[in-house]
Chain A
Amino acid sequence: MSEERSDMSEDEDGGGGVEQKERWGPSQGGGGCGSAKSRGGVWTDPPPPFSDQVLENVLENVLQFLVCRRDRNAASLVCRSWCRAEAQTRGELFIGNCYAVSPRRATDRFRRVRSVVLKGKPRFADFSLVPLGWGAHFSPWASAMAAAYPWLERICLKRMSIADDDLSLLAFSFPFFKDLTLICCDGFGTHGLAVIAEKCRHLRVLDLIEAYLEEEEEDQVVDWVSKFPQTTTSLETLGFDCVVSTVNFEALEALVARSPALRQLRVNHHVTVDQLFRLMVRAPQLTHLGTGSFGPPAALALQGDVMEHEADLVSAFAASKSIISLSGFRDVASQYLPAIYPVCANLTTLNCSFAEITADELKPVIHHCHNLQKFWVLDTVRDEGLQAVAATCKDLQELRVFPLNATEDSEGFVSDVGLAAISQGCRRLRSILYFCQQMTNKAVITMSKNCQELVVFRLCIMGRHLPDHLTKEPMDEGFGAIVMNCKKLTRLAVSGLLTDKAFAYIGKYGKSIRTLSVAFAGDSDVGLRYVLEGCPKLQKLEIRDSPFGDPALLSGIHQYYNMRFLWMNSCKLSIRGCNDVAQRLPRLVVEVIRDRPEADDETVEKLYMYRSLAGPRNDAPPFVKIL
C-alpha cells in the first residue's frame, strides 16, 4: 500500500486548499494574471523589456524553491510578472477536477511541467452512484500533454477513464517517463500495461491502486510483466495487487532479480506464499511489501510441504530488515501470520483489511508493532482487537476499520467501545475511518477530546438513521464535539441519526473543513444552509439522501466559485433550483444526471456541479444534462 498515494487525499499532506485556478468572481471572466490573457489562455503580452527580463529570471530562480501549490497560487496573483515567472517554474501541475480547465489552457500556461496529477470522477462514483460512461476521459489530456511536455516524467491519475491507447501514447511520447500511478482508474487492460512496460525504459514507478482493469478473456490477457526490458531496470515501485489476471511468475521473479532499486512491491492474490518467498529472497532490500495469497497453496496440502513453506516464510521475513510496510494478506491462513513477527517492530504501515482475523489472531501480531503509524483492518478483530491496538500503537496516526459485511443490517463487530479505546490509547491519531453499527455520542465526544490532532474524521454507522444506541438520541452532540474540539479538522464524514443541529455545529465550528460527506441526515433546508454559510474553506461537498431542496442550494451561491464541486443525489432538488444556480453562476457547470430517461423532468435525481474555466464539456453522455 503506497501510503501517500492510496488515498491521495489532500487533507493529510497539508498541500490542499486552493489548487491552480484563476481568480473567481460571479459573472466575471477568469481574471487571472493580467487582463491581457485571451480566451484561450494564450499569452498575448509583448515580451518584457530587458531589465524586466532580468528581474523575471531572478524571480524564476527564487520561485523554483516554492513547492507547495498553494504558495505558488498565491505568488502567481501578485502581478503579471510574477504570474509569468511562476508559470515558467511550476514543475508539478495539480488539476483537482479534470473538467475545471481545458487541457490546452493548462498546458499553454504551464510550459515546463514534469509531473501531472489529475483527478476525474466525483468520489461517489466509487459507490456506483455515477453511471458508466459519465466521463473523465484521459485521452484529451494525454494528447495535450504529449504535445506540450516532452520531458514529462510523472503522471498520477485518480478516477479517470484511461484507454490502452492512452497508455500507448504516453509510452511513445515521453522518453523520460518515470512514474505512472493510477488510483481507482478504469478502462485499460493488460495490453496498455505491456506497452508501458516495454517502452518506458526509465520507468521507476508503476503503481496501480484499486484500479479496475477491463475484463479480458483468457486469450486476450497480455503477459505484460515479460515486457520489461531484459537489462537491469530502474524500477523502484511495482504495485499490481488490484490486477485480476494472473501474471507470469517466472517473468516476475526474473524482473525482481534484475531490479536492484526495487523498494516497493505489491503482488496480486494469484501469487502464492511459496512464490512470495522466492520474490523476497530476490529482493531483501524491499521496504514495502504487498503479499498475495497468504495461505497454503491449494496444490500443496500435504502437511510436510505446508510446514516447509511456513519455515521458508519465517526466514524470508527475518532476512528482510528493511520492511516498514506490509499489505495484501489475501486468503490469509492464521498460522502463517507469525511469520511476520520479525518485521513487526519496524512496521509503520500494516494493511490487513482483506484478512478475516479475530482478536486472538491479531493480538500477538499487533503486540510487536510499537512503531505503527497506519493501520487498516477488518472489523472481525472486534472491539477487543482494537483495544489491543490502542494498548500498543501509541504512535498511530491513521486507522481504518472496514466492515466484513458491508450491508446495513449486518451484525457489526466493532462499536463505540472500540472507538473509545482507540481514543484513549492513540492520542496522536490524525485520520480515522470507522465502520460500525453501534455508536454513542459519548465515545465520539471522548475521541474529540483525546485526539486533538485529528484532521480526518469519517464515521460510518452503517444502518441508516441509527441514533446513539444507549441514549437513543441523535448523533448531533458527538459530531458537534468533533468540530468543536478538533481544531485541525479538514475532512468530515457524518452518519447516523442527525438533525439540523449537527449541521449548525458544523457551520459554527467547522471553519477549517474542506471536505464534507453527508448521507441520510438532516431535517430541512436549514441544515445545508448552515454548512454553506458557515464553512468558508469548504471545497468538496457530497450529499446523498438528505432533505435539502432548492432554497438550500440557492443559499450557497456565494460559495460555489470557491469550491471544487458539489454533489447531491436523492435530495429534494428540482430543475428550477438548479437552473437558477446555473443562470446566476455562468462559470459553474451544472450537470443533472438522469438514470432513467423517462423519469420526472422536475425532480433532479443527481446533481454534480463544479466551477470551470472550460465551460460545458463536449463529451457528456446522453444521460447528463448540462444546464
Chain B
Amino acid sequence: MEEEFRGGRPQLFDFITNGRDWSDKGGYGAAEEKSLELRLGLPGGEDWSAVQEKREHPAESAVSPGHIAKIPKSTNMSASSGAKRGCSDAVDSKPEGTLADKPTAAAPVVGWPPIRSFRKNLAGTAKASAESPNRRSEAEKKLENDRKGLFVKINMDGIPIGRKVDLKAYDSYEKLSLAVDELFRGLLMAAQMDLLAATTHSTKETHVISGLLDRSGEYTLVYEDDEGDKMLVGDVPWDMFVSTAKRLRVLKSSDLCASPLSPGEIGRRTNDS
C-alpha cells in the first residue's frame, strides 16, 4: 500500500499549547482527577461526570481527544509504507461542531480500513455486462494497490534492497526526484552507518540526496527504457518518460562515463577507461 507522495513535509497544527496533556483542559479540573480514578461504574453514575460534561459542551469536546478527525497527511517515503504522526499532533482545525459531525474527507491513513492488500483492488475490476467478457484485474499484487498505478523498480547503488515507485503519482521530474530522495535517504543513512564503527552517535544529520537530474549531485537518476537502453532521466517530456521507463536506478555520478556513448545514453566507467 504505497502512499502518494506530494512533496514537502506534512503541516502539523499544534493546537495544544505547550504540549499539555489531553485531559488537562481548563474546564475539567476536578473532573479530570476523578476520571483518572479507576472506577467501573456504569453510565448514569457520578463516574461519568466527565463524559457527561463532554456531551453537554460539544464545543469543548470537539477539541478533546475523542473527536480527533483529521490528521495531516504524512508524506514520508521511508522504508515502511509510511507512519502517520500520532494523533497528539493535530487537531481538527474547526473547533466547533457537535459529536454529530461526520468528519469531512480526511487524508488517507496507512492500513486503514484494515483490509489486506490483495483485497483492495476489487473496485477497479470492471464488472462486465452480460455480454462482454470480464477484464481480469491484477488485483493480487502485493503493495501495488493504485488501480492505474505504474510501478517501476528503483535501485540505488550501495543499497541492497530496491524499492518501487509509482510513476503515475508524479507529474514532473522535480517531484520524482524529491520522492527518490525521500525513499532512499533513510536507507542510505542506515547503510552508511553500518559502515561506520558505530562510535559516532551524534551524527543524525541526514544528507539530502539532491542533484539527481542535473548531474550536480553525488548521485544521478537514470532509467532503462522499453528497448533496454539506459538513459538519463530528464531529457524527454515527462509523459513520454512515464510511458517508456521500465526501471530506475540511482547511480553514483562518479560511475557514469564522462562522455555519453550517444545523446542520453549512458555507459559505465570501466576499470580500463
Residues of A in contact with B (beta carbons under 8 Å apart): 124, 126-133, 184, 186, 210, 212, 215, 242, 244, 269, 293, 295-298, 301, 330-335, 353-354, 356, 378, 402-409, 435, 460, 462-467, 472-474, 476-477, 497-501, 504, 507-508, 517, 519-520, 522-526, 529-530, 533-534, 544-547, 549, 569-572, 593, 595-599, 603, 605-606, 622-623
From B78, B85, B122, B134, give the contact of A296 (CB < 8 A): B134
From B36, B64, B78, B119, give the contact of A597 (CB < 8 A): B78
* A-B interface, 3 closest residue pairs, ranked by CB to CB distance from nearest: A127-B111, A131-B80, A472-B100
Known: A269-B140, A467-B100. A129 touches B110 (CB 8 A): yes
A595→B76 contact, CB < 8 A: yes
Given the complex of chains A and B, what is the CA–CA distance between A242 and B43 in angstroms?
Answer: 48
Minimum Cβ distance to chain B for residue A158 (Å):
13
From B85, B100, B105, B133, give the contact of A301 (CB < 8 A): B133
The segment out of B66-74, B166-174, B221-229 that lies at the interface is B66-74
From A186, A547, A569, give the contact of B88 (CB < 8 A): A547
A132→B80 contact, CB < 8 A: yes
Known: A124-B111, A524-B22. A606 touches B130 (CB 8 A): no
Known: A406-B119, A463-B103, A519-B114. A545 touches B86 (CB 8 A): yes
Taking CB atoms, residues of chain B closer than 8 Å to A409 are 105-106
Taking CB atoms, residues of chain A closer than 8 Å to B66 are 465, 474, 497-499, 522-523
Given the complex of chains A and B, what is the CA–CA distance between A529 and B35 in angstroms?
Answer: 12
- Considering only CB atoms, which chain B residue lies closest to A330 in the complex? B136
5 A–B contacts from the bound complex (CB under 8 Å): A354-B119, A435-B113, A545-B87, A597-B185, A597-B206
- Considering only CB atoms, which chain B residue lies closest to A125 in the complex? B111
Q: Does B108 contact A (CB under 8 A)?
A: yes
Flag B113-154 by CB within 8 Å of A: 1 or 0 each.
Answer: 111111110110101101011111100111100000000000
Taking CB atoms, residues of chain B closer than 8 Å to A356 are 122, 125, 127
Known: A124-B111, A402-B119. A467 touches B99 (CB 8 A): yes
Minimum Cβ distance to chain B for residue A593 (Å):
8
Given the complex of chains A and B, what is the CA–CA distance between A477 and B64 in angstroms?
Answer: 20
Given the complex of chains A and B, what is the CA–CA distance between A504 and B193 in angstroms?
Answer: 46
Q: Does B264 contact A (CB under 8 A)?
A: no
Given the complex of chains A and B, what is the CA–CA distance between A398 and B136 in angstroms?
Answer: 29
* Residue with the greatest number of chain A CB neighbours at <10 A, chosen from B102, B113, B142, B185: B113
A464→B111 contact, CB < 8 A: no
Q: Does B241 contact A (CB under 8 A)?
A: no
Known: A595-B79, A597-B189, A603-B86. A460 touches B114 (CB 8 A): yes
B83→A529 contact, CB < 8 A: no
Minimum Cβ distance to chain B for residue A126 (Å):
5
Taking CB atoms, residues of chain A closer than 8 Å to B119 are 353-354, 402, 406
Taking CB atoms, residues of chain B closer than 8 Å to A406 are 113, 115, 119-120
* Residue with the greatest number of chain A CB neighbours at <10 A, chosen from B83, B137, B189: B83
Q: Does B210 contact A (CB under 8 A)?
A: no
Q: Does B23 contact A (CB under 8 A)?
A: yes
Taking CB atoms, residues of chain A closer than 8 Å to B88 are 547, 572
* Residue with the greatest number of chain A CB neighbours at <10 A, chosen from B51, B79, B114, B134: B114
Q: Does B242 contact A (CB under 8 A)?
A: no
Interface of B is mostly: loop
Taking CB atoms, residues of chain B closer than 8 Å to A473 are 99
Taking CB atoms, residues of chain B closer than 8 Å to A545 are 84, 86-87, 109
Q: Does B211 contact A (CB under 8 A)?
A: no
- Considering only CB atoms, which chain A residue lies closest to B190 in the complex? A622
Q: Does B267 contact A (CB under 8 A)?
A: no
A465→B67 contact, CB < 8 A: yes
Given the complex of chains A and B, what is the CA–CA distance between A460 and B114 in angstroms?
Answer: 8
Given the complex of chains A and B, what is the CA–CA distance between A148 and B188 in angstroms?
Answer: 40
Taking CB atoms, residues of chain B closer than 8 Å to A353 are 119
A378→B122 contact, CB < 8 A: yes
A133→B83 contact, CB < 8 A: no
A244→B141 contact, CB < 8 A: yes
- Considering only CB atoms, which chain A residue lies closest to B41 in the complex? A504
Taking CB atoms, residues of chain B closer than 8 Å to A460 are 113-114
Taking CB atoms, residues of chain B closer than 8 Å to A242 are 118, 140
Minimum Cβ distance to chain A for residue B25 (Å):
11
From A467, A500, A595, give the contact of B83 (CB < 8 A): A595
Q: Does B194 contact A (CB under 8 A)?
A: yes
Flag B24-37 by CB within 8 Å of A: 1 or 0 each.
Answer: 00000000000110
- Considering only CB atoms, which chain B residue lies closest to A293 in the complex? B136
A132→B114 contact, CB < 8 A: no
Taking CB atoms, residues of chain B closer than 8 Å to A403 are 113, 115
Q: Does B197 contact A (CB under 8 A)?
A: no
Known: A131-B79, A295-B134, A472-B99. A547 touches B114 (CB 8 A): no
- Considering only CB atoms, which chain B residue lies closest to A504 in the complex? B40
B194→A519 contact, CB < 8 A: no
- Considering only CB atoms, which chain A residue lies closest to B111 in the complex? A127
Taking CB atoms, residues of chain B closer than 8 Å to A378 are 122
Taking CB atoms, residues of chain A closer than 8 Å to B86 are 545, 570-572, 603, 605
From B64, B69, B194, give the contact of A464 (CB < 8 A): B69
Minimum Cβ distance to chain B for residue A222 (Å):
18
A570→B85 contact, CB < 8 A: yes
